[in-house]
């Protein structure tokens, strides 16, 4: 199942949280982009954040945000090996 636009927005919202502290949350204002507001409300409904307008990460939300940050780090990093050219078979 590929990431939908809604899931991508939720992941982007989770990436906004600072995982170095439990003392800092987010406040999504009423004038924020509608997609950000909707993503935050979905995260709240899923039990990942403490309030419909952001708040703090719940324990499950903290875990999800950590995984989201790790995945992003992996995907934006430089390749560690040369991949075969398109149409070539990979050596096993």
For 57, phi then psi, to 5°, come to -70, 140
- In this predicted structure, the answer to whether residue 86 has a pLDDT above a threshold of 80 is no
pLDDT tens, residue by residue, 47-75: 999 999 999 999 999 999 999 999 999 99
Residue 79's pLDDT is 78
Tokens 């499950």 correspond to what residue?
60
Alpha helices by DSSP H, listed for the chain, are: 5-15, 34-45, 59-76
SS3 content of the chain, % helix, strand, coil (to 5): 45, 10, 45
What is the chain's mean pLDDT, rounded?
91
Q: Could you tell me which residue, 91 or 14, shows the higher pLDDT? A: 14
pTM, two decimals, is 0.81
Residue 90's pLDDT is 59
Residue spans per domain, the chain = 5-76
Q: Are 43 and 16 in contact (CB under 8 A)?
A: no
- Helices 5-15 and 34-45, axial angle in degrees (round to 10): 80
């Amino acid at each position: 199942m590929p990431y939908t636009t809604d899931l991508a927005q939720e992941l982007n919202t989770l990436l906004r949280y600072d995982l170095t502290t439990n003392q800092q949350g987010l406040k999504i204002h009423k004038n924020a982009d509608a997609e950000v507001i909707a993503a935050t409300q979905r995260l709240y409904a899923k039990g990942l954040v403490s309030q419909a307008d952001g708040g703090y990460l719940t324990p499950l939300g903290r875990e999800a945000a950590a995984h989201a940050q790790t995945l992003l780090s992996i995907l934006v990093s430089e390749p560690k090996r040369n991949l075969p050219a398109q149409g070539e078979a990979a050596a096993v």
